[in-house]
Amino acid sequence: MSEAYIVDAVRTPTGRRGGGLAQVHPADLGAAAIKALLRRTGVDPQAVEDVIFGNVDNVGPNAGDIARTCWLAAGLPEAVPGVTVDRQCGSGQQAVSFAAMGVMAGVNDLVVAGGVQNMSLVPMGSSGAAAEVLGLPGPFTDSQGWVQRYGTGEVSQFRGAEMIAEKWDLSRDDLEAYALESHRRAVQAIDEGRFDAEIEPVAGVSTDEGPRRDTSLERMQSLPALIEGGRLTAAVSSQISDGAAALLLASERALDEHGLTPRARIHHMSVRGDDPIYMLTGPIPATAYALERTGMAIDDFDLFECNEAFAPVPLAWMHEHDIPHAKVNVNGGAIALGHPLGCTGAKLMTTLLHELERTGGRWGFQTMCEGGGQANVTIIERL
C-alpha cells in the first residue's frame, strides 16, 4: 500500500455569523482556499485527479456538487472533477480520508481535499427546512424503521449535548470554565500569530472573527440556557461560522514527479458509530478503536484536536480516555473559533499540522462528533 502524504494545508479565516465572509458565495469561499493551496504548492492544476470537499445542507448555493463548483469558480481546468461529501460535522475530515484512501490504494496520486460552509448564507438545517416547504418528510421520525427503533423523540445535537452533560455529570460551571479556556487559548494564538501561516485572507478578512476578548465567567453565567432547565448556553456551544479549508494529498510517485516536499503522512484513519440520539459521543468509541488498531497509547500523541461542538463533547471524551487538556485544542476550539460545519474537519487538520510544526511535535490525533452518532479519527505523523 502506498503512503498518503499531506503536502500543504490552508484555510480561510473563520468568519463569525453575519461577519466579514457572510456575503461570500460558498463556491467563491472554497475557490479561495483551493487557489491558495495551488499557489503555495506550485502544482500544475491539470495534475490534480479529484477534488473532494465536505459540505452540509446541500441546498441553494451549496447544491449541485459544491466541490466541483468551487474548483470551477477558481478558474481551474474543467477536466478535473469534484465530489461533495456529507458526513455531517466531520465532512471535511472524511474528505481528507477519502482522498488519502484513493492515494493509498494507488488509484490517485494527487488529490485536493477540504471543505466549505457559509452558515451565514445557508443556515444550519436549511436542507430540512427547504424540504418542509415542499411538504417532504423529515429524515428521521417520518421513517417507520426509525420510529420503531428510536421512537419519536427529538433528534438534535442540542438534546444530545444536554444528555451528555447529564450523563457525565458536567455542571454548567464545568462547561463555562472549559469555554472560557477555549477563548483564552484562541486569543493567545491569534495574538502570537500562530494561525498566520495557515490562513489565506479572503474578502479583506485575515483573522478568525469568533474569539471574544471580553468574555468572562460572570458574563457567561448571565446568559439564558438554550432550553429551560438545561445546562447549555450560547457560550458553551460552537459558533455559527463561515469558512473553507483545502489540503493537497499526494502519493510518493506524485512527490517525485512534481518535486513536492511532504509535511506529514496519514498514519491512520477510521470512523465509528455510536448512539444517534446521544449523537455526539462518537469520539469516545472511535478513539478506543483507533488506539486498538494502531497499538498507540494516549501518551504517544503530542497534540489532539477534538471538535468543540459543545463543551460536554471534549470534556466527556477527555474523561473517558484520560487525555490531558493541556494537549487538546491548544489554540482554542470551535467554541471560540467557530465551526463552519463541512469545513471544520479540514480546518482542524490544517491547524493540527501547523501546530505540530510550530512545536516540533510528531504525532497528531484528530476526532470529531458527527450527526448520526458518528466520529472520524485521523492520526498524522509530521515529517
Interface residue list for ligand COA (CB under 6 A): 89, 124, 157, 179, 212, 215, 219-220, 223, 226, 234-235, 237-240, 309, 339
What is the nearest approach in angstroms of ligand COA to the Cβ of residue 339?
A: 5
Q: Is residue 306 annotated as part of the catalytic site, yes or no?
A: no
What is the nearest approach in angstroms of ligand COA to the Cβ of residue 268?
A: 24
Which is nearest to 170 in space by CA: 312, 328, 322, 326?
Answer: 312
Kindly tell me which of 155 and 352 has the beta carbon lying closer to ligand COA: 155
Kindly tell me which of 41 and 239 has the beta carbon lying closer to ligand COA: 239
Q: Is residue 339 annotated as part of the catalytic site, yes or no?
A: yes
What is the nearest approach in angstroms of ligand COA to the Cβ of residue 369?
A: 6
What CA–CA distance (Å, rounded) separates 383 from 381? 6
Q: In this structure, are residues 239 and 210 in contact, taking their beta carbons and an 8 Å threshold?
A: yes
Widest CA span of the chain, in angstroms? 60
What is the nearest approach in angstroms of ligand COA to the Cβ of residue 156?
A: 8
Paired residues of 84 in beta bridges: 53
Read off the DSSP letter of residue 269. Answer: E
What is the nearest approach in angstroms of ligand COA to the Cβ of residue 161?
A: 7
The DSSP-derived string for 148-188 is HHH-SS---HHHHHHHHHHHTT--HHHHHHHHHHHHHHHHH
What is the nearest approach in angstroms of ligand COA to the Cβ of residue 216?
A: 7
Residue 141 neighbours by CB distance under 10 Å:
14
What CA–CA distance (Å, rounded) separates 91 from 83? 12
Kindly tell me which of 220 and 348 has the beta carbon lying closer to ligand COA: 220
Kindly tell me which of 218 and 299 has the beta carbon lying closer to ligand COA: 218
- Annotated active-site residue in 70, 306, 343, 369: 369
Sign (positive/negative) of CA torsion 282, 52, 96, 27? negative
- Annotated active-site residue in 70, 183, 339, 354: 339
What is the nearest approach in angstroms of ligand COA to the Cβ of residue 64?
A: 23
Which is nearest to 306 in space by CA: 291, 279, 287?
Answer: 287
Kindly tell me which of 61 and 211 has the beta carbon lying closer to ligand COA: 211
Q: In this structure, are residues 238 and 210 in contact, taking their beta carbons and an 8 Å threshold?
A: no
What is the three-state SS of 278-295? Answer: CCCCCHHHHHHHHHHHHC
Kindly tell me which of 36 and 235 has the beta carbon lying closer to ligand COA: 235
Kindly tell me which of 103 and 313 has the beta carbon lying closer to ligand COA: 313
Kindly compute the dihedral angle of the four CA atoms of residues 190, 192, 194, 197, in this order, to the nearest 10 degrees. 100
What CA–CA distance (Å, rounded) separates 46 from 30? 18
- Annotated active-site residue in 89, 183, 343, 354: 89
The DSSP-derived string for 34-58 is HHHHHHHH---GGG--EEEEE-SS-
Q: In this structure, are residues 343 and 92 in contact, taking their beta carbons and an 8 Å threshold?
A: yes
Active-site residues, by number, are 89, 339, 369
